[in-house]
Amino acid sequence: MKAIVIDDFGGPEVLQLQHVPRPAPGPDEALVQIKCCGVCHLDLILRSGMRSRVKPPRILGHELAAEVVEVGANVTDFVPGDRVTSFNFQACGHCADCLRGRPSLCRQTHGDIGQTRDGGYAEYAVLLGSNLVKLPEGMPFEHACFAACVYGPPYKAIRQVGQIQPGQWVVITGASGGLGLAAIQITKALGARSIAITSNDSKVDRLKALGADAVVVSADGAFGEQVRQLTDGRGVDLVVELIGSPTFQGSLRSLAPGGRMAVIGELHGRPIEINLGLLIIKEFELRGVQSANRDELKEVLQFMHTHALEPVVWKSLPLEAAAEAHRELANREVIGRVLLVP
């Protein structure tokens, strides 16, 4: 089969198209034919070698949708022909975090797709049956592949952390990326209002056309006062923080009393300072959010399908153009997501 294999860490040039043996499933696994695979910012980090869990040679790609081709003897929930997507980690099921219903906090995960298990930058992949979820009837592969990693975190942020109701305000940093646009769509579907934060003037009209109620351009992350002006001085009920340290202070300043911040992304790894007195007096709530687990993924897929949410695909490229996709994402040229189609 064709696959993009990294034999060593480095720049986009290490993403090389190779012909490799098609894998065979074990008893608890399924062989799937990849229909499409999204290119995630995490893929760039993994390719660079910043995450030590990746040991080359490795096939990246965890935002995948596929069709089941063959199943192992112990896989009973799926049959050949099933249309599926996956979440990208496998919790142990036995630790304290798993037993209290927080599998995303498990530190004994195994088989993380695109990290310790080969992923979707290929024509086929072997995945654990327990990682797979069937698609709603009629849902396109090109939508489903983004459910866990792109729609999952903002869905959790807006529904679980923010508990957003119609008419409430949500700030979304990094709004022109895939997760940002998903957050705009989810906010709109719930009848709430979004303020999109971007550093690029050229993206304002596009963000408004895609559903943002207001757009603030801020290159330095100091957008708090502008947000307050847009909300009659009150601030917002929730910030979906997708950038991290560069925008954290502006996000904190944007919150209304009792407001919540869901931190999904940290692209720079820099420490931040926080006034604990402000946290106390305003009764702010801060919470980290990861991608969806299996039960959450089922809920996200149904929400996307019910509300006809469609991910914004910047480009669809063949496998051999994986390096081009990584360069464009790194250069911040992308609005939405890039899709690799074997």
pLDDT of 111 = 66
Considering the domain architecture, whether residues 255 and 316 belong to the same structural domain is answered as no
Closest by Cα among 139, 181, 142, 118 to 37 = 142
Considering the domain architecture, whether residues 154 and 71 belong to the same structural domain is answered as no
Task: Supply φ then ψ for residue 108, to 5 degrees.
Answer: -120, 30
Q: pTM higher than 0.75, yes or no?
A: yes
Greater confidence, 98 or 282? Answer: 282
> In the listed set 288, 303, 333, which residue is the last one of a domain according to the structure?
288
pLDDT digits (tens, 9 = 90+) for 216-228: 999 899 999 999 9
What mean pLDDT do residues 249-253 have? 96
Tell me if 119 is assigned to some domain: yes
Considering the domain architecture, whether residues 133 and 8 belong to the same structural domain is answered as yes
pLDDT at 292 over 90: no
What residues make up the domain containing 265?
150-288
pLDDT of 90 = 72
CATH of the domain at 127: 3.90.180.10
Considering the domain architecture, whether residues 45 and 174 belong to the same structural domain is answered as no
Closest by Cα among 188, 180, 213 to 309 = 188
Considering the domain architecture, whether residues 331 and 284 belong to the same structural domain is answered as no
Considering the domain architecture, whether residues 167 and 142 belong to the same structural domain is answered as no
Tell me if 303 is assigned to some domain: no
CA dist., res. 285 & res. 156, Å (int): 15
CA torsion sign, 295 to 124 to 73 to 115?
negative
pLDDT of 270 = 82
- The b-or-e profile of 168-199 (16+ CB within 10 A means b, else e) is bbbbbbbbbbbbbbbbbbbbbbbebbbbbbbb
pLDDT of 103 = 75
pLDDT band at 164 (very low <50, low <70, confident <90, very high): very high
Considering the domain architecture, whether residues 211 and 266 belong to the same structural domain is answered as yes
pLDDT digits (tens, 9 = 90+) for 54-69: 999 999 999 999 999 9
Tell me if 301 is assigned to some domain: no
pLDDT digits (tens, 9 = 90+) for 172-217: 999 988 899 999 999 999 999 999 999 988 889 989 999 999 999 9
